Amino acid sequence: MTGTDVQLDADRVDLRDWTMSRPGSAEEAAVRLPHDAMITEPRSSDASGRSDTGWFPGGRYTYRTHWYADPAYRGREVQLRFDGIQGESVVTVNGHRVGTVRSGYTEFGFRIDDVLNWDDENEIAVDVDNSAQPAGRWYPGSGLYRSVSLRIRSRVRLEDDGVGVRTTLLGADAVVEVRTAVVNDSDRPVHVRTVLHSDAGAVAQAVAGDDGIAHLHVPAVRLWSAEDPFRYRLVTTVEHDGAVVDTRRELVGLRTVHVDARHGLRINKQQVNLRGACIHHDNGVLGAATHRAAEFRRIRILKENGFNAVRSAHHPMSRHLLDACDELGMYVMDELADYWIQSKSTHDFSHRFLDTWREDADRMIEKDRNRPSVVIYSIGNEIPETAHPDGVALTREITAYVKAADPDRPVTVALNIFLNVLSSMNRSPYSGASDTPEGAQHNKQGPGSTEANRMVNQIGRMMDVVSRLPIADRATRDAFAEVDIAGYNYGLARYKHDVKAYPDRVIVGSETLPGDIARAWDLVTQYPSVIGDFIWVGWEYLGESGVGVWAPGRRTGLVKPYPYLIAGPGVIDLTGQPDFSLRLGQVAWGTHPGPAIGVRPLDQAGQPVARVAWRSTDAVESWAWRGCAGRKAEIEVYSADDEVELFVNGRSAGRRRAGRRRRYTARFTTTYAAGELVAVGHRGGREVSRTVLRSAGEDLQVRLTTDRARLRADGDDLAFIEVEIVDSAGTVEMLADDDIELKVEGPAELVGYGSARPDPTRPFADPTQRAYRGRALAVLRSTGQTGSVHFTATSRLHGVSHLTLEAR
């Protein structure tokens, strides 16, 4: 049997094993979902997506799988469900066209039981056309990059979004309203029972009334929060003719959300300030493939580094990522779209937004409704048409629609105040596409994604000046009046004015430059109506090549040429390592234990560097720069202490003021000498903190570190292995990079391997990669079998290292 084996008692069958072929080729390659076809395409300087897609081309692909339709399922409904496909797609079953998928981020389902061959194999095929690029402003990936499944359902059953949970607090207790919707084509009634379980057993239960609503009284309720992400198990059963015909089990967190200008954002009646990270959807060396283990790792690392919130930029979040936020404790701003009716990319789909946004909003809300992590909906990002009456009217319409579907979550729209000002003057960098016919859409010249970024980068701090002008208020106030929370992209300069001018307005920093993170946090803690800040960007991403990279030379431009791949502003790099720019936020948040020391790259000392707005520094947390003795070292220290003194091998290099009034930053210049660099923090003249960086010794070797010792033998689990060049004390050397070849033996395969290098030339599928600043990352995937996995890394200069995992 090909395809996916099933169990008769399962109502969900994951379809993981497929083949993929390209037009004109008889070769079919075996692939396992999730699968990103774009990451395997050859990059080139003439790729149609250019810098937006990281110099990857689009493509056309046909995916096929087979599924045996057991006759025991006959009489039940079978739905084929896609969590997302990148590319315009046509779905067929046994040659019968069953539907199309038109969005990379919206879930679609098609009923297929009427075209199945029972007690036989059935061919499922998906033709994907993702050749027209760029279709967005970042790396999208191609193909079946999210999960595909079959849902096998009773004809009397709960609807797909048939269970909705709302929580009301009554002192230490809670009342949980469970609203159910049932599909019942018979003339006989159903009985719906809901039971809420904790670890100790059932805590509340009730039978739904004729209106489908049950009320559960939960004594001494344990509420969900980012600090305590506790979840109950909710079991809802449907009885028909005396038999249970459907059961829905889900983990639910009970919590409340309120927001107003006086108290800010309150979760469970407690004020919460959002330390937020904007994130794109790709998973670095894995491309756009949405692996569950990768999403959990990303949220775990973000939380370990002090974030308590993420903003999905700029599309609805995947189910796996939401699962991670629910389980690990992370607040979520889920976002509907990056564009409305004004086009931002040559081949985007703004021309059909007015026809599709309601369905897209429905799917997002259905997915999010019972998620405790989702606390805010964003209906759009940097929508320049909101500067005009028609755009304001559309803001009002979308907000009302979302609020009607889910009244428990506040709604925001993220506006770039500077771009709204330009739009109000009819000088928007985005070429208008509100009246562009579909046939002309794919022939128009690229509009203003790059142009908008370049303009903002060149003007830099002029954004602050422009945002203070009366015209900036006029260009945003009407749209902000239609939402619960005003989302400010790069609009810190307006906070103090607008808090006074609009005392009922709630503000969130929906995008903030990394260098402004401390300044933004001071305003968040100062004004209750400013509920938080989301840094651009929390995790490094593919595409928008080089917009946040400081490149050698005086004038390299904002967008970098091939082979630049990453965007560059990530405060956590492509491999999951914290960037020094993140430390400024951690110091301001009070989560960093002492001074943070950053050293500008000593191999580039004295050379001109082209700076960009989306990166505040190119400093690195290292004093290991072999071969650089005697060079001028430029050092930045972030500290909340009053003063910082810097020592090089025991000799003082100076004492500088730091702390909040100095934006937590002290700068030093000294001469590099291998050894020890120490920053000492002082308050009231007394030492209160100390941080040490050390040079690496001569005894360098390859070190392998895995995030797990065991790999689940389920064909899906991942192990992330850090590959580093270190000395015997574990210090990573910045300037001893070498090619490192990997070999995997046993029940796992190498599915991604690369570094944080901004301009790599080797594909992530290559088992040989060059370390970058002493580091690389490898990702192994279970093949589904059990046994020992032997992993070997071989460096020409630094020897061989071994690691063993157990697949169980």
Q: Which residues contact 7 (CB under 8 A, 6 or more apart)?
A: none
**Which range (157-161, 308-312, 703-707) has the least confidence?**
157-161
Q: What is the pLDDT of residues 678-688, one digit of tens each?
A: 999 999 999 99
Percent of the chain with pLDDT over 90: 89
CATH class (in words) of the domain with range 270-586: alpha beta
Q: What Rg value do the Cα atoms of the chain yield, rounded?
A: 27
Q: What token pair was written down for 335?
A: 């976002």
Q: What is the mean pLDDT of the chain?
A: 93
**Is the pLDDT score of 208 beyond 80?**
yes
Which tens digit of pLDDT belongs to each residue from 737-762? 999 999 999 999 999 999 999 999 99
pLDDT for 1 equals: 31
d(CA 113, CA 71) in angstroms, rounded, equals 11
Q: Is the dihedral of CA 499, 504, 508, 509 positive or negative?
A: negative
Cα dihedral: 369, 371, 374, 377 (round 10): -10
How would residue 37 be classed by pLDDT, with cut points 50, 70 and 90?
very high
CATH topology of domain 12-153: Jelly Rolls (2.60.120)
Q: Read off the pLDDT of each residue in 199-228 and give the average, rounded to a whole number.
A: 96
Please compute the mean of the pLDDT values over residues 310-336 and round it to a whole number: 97
Query: Does the 593-694 domain belong in CATH 2.60.40.10?
Result: yes
Q: What's residue 439's pLDDT?
A: 32
459-493 per-position pLDDT tens digit: 556 677 788 889 999 999 999 999 999 999 999 99
Look at residue 448 in the predicted model and tell me its pLDDT: 53
CATH of domain 157-252: 2.60.40.10
Higher pLDDT, 324 or 11: 324
Distances (CA, A) of 289 to 255, 318, 374: 31, 11, 22
* Predicted model pTM: 0.95
Pairing type for strands 77-82 and 148-153 reads: antiparallel
Residue 187: pLDDT band (50, 70, 90) is confident
Q: What b/e string do you get for 298-317 counting C-beta neighbours within 10 Å, with b at 16 or more?
A: bbbbbbebbbbbbbbbbbbb
Q: Look up the CATH superfamily of 701-807.
A: Immunoglobulins (2.60.40.10)
- pLDDT of 226 > 60? The answer is yes
Residue 321: left if φ>0, alpha if ψ -120 to 50, beta else—which one? alpha
Q: Strand pairing of 17-21 and 60-68?
A: antiparallel
**CA angle (401 as vertex; 400, 403 as ends), nearest 5:** 65
Cα–Cα distance for residue pair 418/460, rounded to 1 Å: 11
Instruction: Give residue 613's pLDDT.
Output: 86
User: Residue range 652-664: average pLDDT?
Assistant: 96
Q: In the numeric block, which tokens belong to residue 486?
A: 């005003």
d(CA 725, CA 751): 22
Judge whether residue 269 has pLDDT over 70: yes
Measured CA to CA, the distance from residue 45 to residue 15 in angstroms comes to 36
Return the closest-CA partner of residue 268 out of 123, 195, 375. Answer: 375
Residues 6+ apart with CB under 8 A from 343: 350, 351, 430, 431, 432, 433, 436, 441, 444, 447
pLDDT of the residue at 626: 97
Strand order in the sheet with 243-252: 201-207, 190-198, 232-240, 243-252
d(CA 214, CA 179): 6
Mean pLDDT calculated for residue range 80-102: 97
Kindly state the tokens that stand for 142.
């191609």
The answer to whether the 593-694 and 701-807 domains have the same CATH topology is: yes
Can you give the pLDDT at residue 440?
31
Which of 791, 781, 802 has the alpha carbon at shortest distance from 289? 781
In the chain, domain spans: 12-153, 157-252, 270-586, 593-694, 701-807
* Total count of residues recorded for the chain: 808
